[in-house]
Every structure is written in C-alpha cells, then in structure tokens.
Structure 1
Amino acid sequence: MTDPASGTLDLARLPATRRDLHAHPELAFDEHRTAGVIADYLRGLGIEVTTGIGGTGVVGVIVGGRPGPTVGLRADMDALPIVEELPREHASTVQGVMHACGHDGHCAILLGAAELLSTAPDFAGTVVLVFQPAEEGGAGAAAMIADGVLEKFGILEIYGLHNIPGIPAGHFAVRPGTQLASFDDLDIVLRATGGHAMAPHLTGDVIVAGSALVTELQTVVARRLDPLVPAVVSITQFTAGTTNNVLPPTARLRGTARCLEAAARTEIEKLVRQICESVAAAHGVEVELTYEHRYPCTVNDPVAAARSARVAAGLVGPDRVDPNCAGILAAEDFAFFLNEIPGAYAFIGNGPITAESGPVHNPAYDFNDAIIEPGARYLAAIARQALADLA
C-alpha cells in the first residue's frame, strides 16, 4: 500500500484553487460556481463525478485496485455573509460574502486527498469524496443524506476535518465522543398594550420585561445546569421601539443555545420555556417562544476517533496530535452524518490568530495555505486506514 506521506501533490495548483474559491465565495445552496470548479478538478484527475446531490453537492468516487468496503471523506463548500476586512490579492469579489471559516481551504484539502488517492489506488475498497453545501446554518449534510448520498454510494464510515485558528499550523486534535455542540435557535416575542412613556402603569413594559428575561436566561447555565456540562445560552438581538416617548407594544429577542450533552439540550429548552413564562407573568406581558432545534451534537465514534489520532500521529508525530482534546461550543452539521454512520471529525491547526488572520467568522480571517498538504495527507491516510480496518 502506498504511503500517503510520500505521494506527490500539486502544491502550486491547490493553493491557487483555494484562493480562486476564496475570491468567488457563495452562500448556502448557491455554490454553483464552486461546485463546477470542484467537479472539473476531479474530472481532470480521472475521477467519476456526480453533481446536484442535496442541492449543489458534488460527489467523487475513487475505486481501489481490489474490492472492499466504502468510506467517505467530506468537505464543506459554503461561505458566510460577512464583509472581508483586509485587501488581500485573493480577497472576495462578492460584496458582503466571504470565506470566513475556511471552507475554501477544506475543499482544497479534499481535492489534495483526491489527488493522492486517485494517482495510487492500490487499496481495497472505494473512497467517496463528499463536497457538501450549506454547512453554515443550512444543514446541507441533512440535505445530502435525504438525497440518499449514504445509500447510493454505500458509505460505511465518514471522516471530516476543520481548521482551527489558535492551534499551531499542521497540528491535529480529535476526541472520542462529543467534539462539537448542539445548536438551537431562540426567537422570543413579548407583547403588551403599549402607550405613552409618561404612564407606564397603564401599559405592560416589554422593554423592562425583555431586559429581565435577558438576565434570567443567564441563570440557565450559571445556576440551573450541571456546571461540568459545557453549555451557553446567548441572546444576540433585542429589538423594540421606534421613538423616545412611547412604550412599544412588542419586543423581540433572538439568540442561541448550545451544549455538549443531549440530556442537557433537553433540559435547557425546558428551562428557557419556564423562564419565559415566569418573567412574562411577573411583568404582565404576553410571551411567544419559538425554540428551533438546528444541529445535534457532533459525536465521534470512539474507534474512529482513536484511528484518526493514530493516523495523524503517524504523519506529523505524536507530539503534534491531541488525541483527547476538549470539546468546543461551535456546532457542525457533520453531526448529521455521524448520527447515521460511524466516523470522526478532527481539527487541524490554522496557526496563530493575528491581525492578518483572525479567528473563524471574523472579517480578518484567512485560511493558511501551508496546511493544505498535511490536511490532504491526513484525509488520504485515514481513508486508507479505515478501509484496511473495515476489510
């Protein structure tokens, strides 16, 4: 079997492709140009391509030299509605849209893995390359699953990789069990009669009620949940009123709830509902809560996570791999794949956070092209090792 650390990669074309994708970002389910670039790249490697899965998803199939099982490798393709801050040569050419999470780099990494695997298909089985749309809130993974991507291609296990600023470039981290949080949306509307600001006793004050609600919701994590369970409830929008002498009839609060345990997720929803009802009653206003479950926790299969750590250590050395990293409260729709089949989601360091390269979801963010090669070699290696183990 070919050593994925020794195969050659086109280290001029891959960064150029990444920067081209960065300059032409597309939002969830609108990744038409991106999908075309990826499909053409795969076809140029002689890889069979299927497009339009789950909307704009692209799937490539690499058949090994001998029969065997099938594993999947996944990269996300979509960008974010963020204005790029720095005038880079490859800066976004689409106003108000940028690759602020590194999905452009994830695509380049998976294209690199495709190159390594397709040029040396001396393995038993099949590797399916899953280029997924709409990770950023659109649940593109669920859309591809609903479109039959797992059944159509017979995928038994699946692996993914996400860059993390703040971890040294090219270092890896993974954990067995829950790696990333669940993600739910809160939308709260408070209603009262409203009226003149001179006579608050004749109205219900939705601003005071909303302010109390913001404060009380912070007790969910601080006082009502097990403090050993990582969780957060954040109100991120508070909208009310149109002028300075009128108490408005409505106020709207929006936010998010996240945690690293399924049981805690259920408890958070129950507590949020209780607090909304009690605060509204105490302030004499009406409340309507819409609590929408979005992404489940991303839970790595323990065997797959251990395999990921061993493979990464074999590539970069055990001193550059954390095999039991802490879970974080970011969410990922890769969780939908892991709800269906075993697999693991790992992190690769993007390097230090600086003024020239901020954290993810930040206008100054940029993907570090130096990690395309180690990321590609990791994905190629984990695919080979998973196939060998499953066989």
Structure 2
Amino acid sequence: MVQNPTQSSRESEEIISRSWVQRFCVRHAIVFKKLSGEAAGVPSATSDDWLSKVWPTIREGYSDSDVFNADETGLFYKLTPDRTLHFKGEKCSNGKISKERITVLVAANMSGSEKRKLFVIGKSKNPRCFKNVKNLPVDYYNNQKAWMTTDLFNKFLLDWDKELKKKRRKILLLIDNCPSHINLRDFEFIKVVFLPPNITSVLQPMDQGIIQKIKTNFRKQLVLRFLQDVEENRETKISIDIETDNGEEDEEEQLDIPPLTDALRAAQLLKKFVMCNTDKQNSYLSGLITVLPVMRSRPQKNEAESRLNNASFSYRVRLIEDGITRNVPVCLKVFLSLHGITGRRARYVRESLLLTRKAPVDMRGKHNTRPHRLRGHKTESD
C-alpha cells in the first residue's frame, strides 16, 4: 500500500503541538531572548587580532593591578520596575516613566583589587539632598545636561594623576574614543590608550557585566526603599533638587512652601468657609490678604492717562496639620481657586483693606432707602 505524502505531512503537523515545542526547548536548554547590543556586528577576527598582537605590546611593563579601564553610563535614578505581581483579572497600570538621569563614570583595575570612586555628573550645582553632608561616597560634578565633557574628564584624570604622583606610581588607562575623551592633556603618571574604533562593545571590560551589576544593585536598593516606605506608610521621594549658586535655598524653600499635594489639602478645610455668611467670609479672606508697598509701577500709557497701583498684595491659604495652624503663601490664581471666589470678589476685599484697613461689610438689604428692609438687620441710624 502506497502512503499519500500529503496525508503523512498533515499528520506530522497535527502531532507537533505547542506543549511538545515547549518541552523540546526545556530539554535542549533553548530560551527566548531579545536581541540587544552591538557585539554581533563586530568581526571576531578584528578583536582577536588586536588582543593577540597589539595588546601585549601596549601593556608591557604594567602589572594587572596597574592596568585600569574607565567607562561612562547613564543612570535613570527614578526609573521604577515595569513588572510586578498582581491578581489575575485586576487592572495593572503604572504612571509616566521617569526620564531623569545622571551620568556615572566607573573605573577599576584589571585584577579587581582597586576600584575608583564613582564620578557622578548631575544637573544641580548644589543639590538639596547634599545639605549637612560632610563626606560623599562619590565625586559629584554638574553641567546643564548631566553629560560627560572633555573638561570634566580632564578634571577626573588630573586629580587622579596628583594622587599617583604622591605614590610615585604609573598606570595604564584603557578608554574608548568617545568625543569627550579627545583632546586630553599629557599626564605624567597616567598612560592613556584608546580602544580600537567600532569594537568597544566586545573589548570594553566595563561592558562585560560590571556596569550591569552596579545598576542591578542600585535597582535592588530602590525597590527595597519602596517596600520600606509602604510598610511605614510614608511617601517615597527620590529627587535631586536645585539650590541657588550662592548655596542658599531657592525662594520656595525660604517661604517654607509645602508640596502641591499638601496645599490641595486646604480644600477640605474650606467647607466651613462656604457655610458662613458673607460678612464672616469677608473677614476670613481679609485675614489672608496682606497689603504691601508697590513693588513695581510701569504704566503702559502716559502717566496722566494711566491708573497707577497704590499697593501690592500677598495671599495665603490656611492649613491645619497635626493640630497646628499655619498660613501658606500662594499666588492669586490658587487663592481664588481654593476659596471658590471670583477676581471681582477679591478686588472688593482688597479695596476695603486699602481704604479702611478693615474687612468689607455686606450692606445688601440693610440700607434705609430700601422700601422693604430685611428683618433682623439694624442700621447705624436705628
């Protein structure tokens, strides 16, 4: 009996199921991975030729402890994990991914016996989190984009060269040929050698798992901090805030302005304000508005036609935290929004403070000229 080839092929296709493929991959240690990196594009003959012929000549006269490698990497220090455990059927969502980053320069020797301090580059000149900190575990510098520049890399090597001068020790430093590593100075105790172009992904020692280990440890500590804050029921804050160049805190810190979330809690306290009558509301608002001297007078028209300001005003919102009442400075827009009043109402209170230094009194229905005056209200003539 001759078997139909078409029928046999269909039967074989039906036999191979998805579970059979999974067991086959497990049995032969086949895994599914994402393609990443540039190592596949590097010819193996080029790297092998450099390691066998060029590298022995370069490192001649240097021991393993005197051969160093340095490389930069970007660290997204606010980036949270994108995977978690959750119950089936529940919605699992995350907020916007943070793109705030710093640059970290990692350097160590060939034997692994010596590791340099991490050279960290951020955007803030005087981060607020460094306040009252005498000794940092890293060397911190800054620029506008938190990138490594030629000046900063020269600074890093110059300080290192001064340390080696005291010990009368010479080293070999292996680096890549990125733009910030070009136009370097001549150092007395540091011999700088550049890796061949386009094959640094294979020959760069720091790219063989050292930088990955540093980021893994940082991410682990970040997750542990999240868990600790959840157990202690407190908000997690990871930030590098900016201070002024003279070392003083910015205007927001000097005024002791809380975060926006704290300011929004004032809305819960405004229920009593809404339930009061107009006179009590005006008295409450007058206590939160302060008359100040004119800060700036710049008329757009001629001085005779323009209406100059007689005074300036500052606004506050009253908060109660842990039984303590305090007034928080806010702008006019926030003041109007939180109290639910219009700009005309605020202008009415300001004019009364400016003229009488008192809160305005609601005279609606209280005038003697009104034919049918409201009951229960007495005028000054009564």
Would the TM-score normalized by the shorter structure come out above 0.5?
no
Task: Say which one has the larger Rg.
Answer: 2
Judging by fraction of residues, say which structure has more strand: 1
Normalised by the size of structure 2, how large is the TM-score? 0.21
Bigger RCO of structures 1 and 2 (CA < 8 A, at least 6 apart): 1
Normalised by the size of structure 1, how large is the TM-score? 0.21
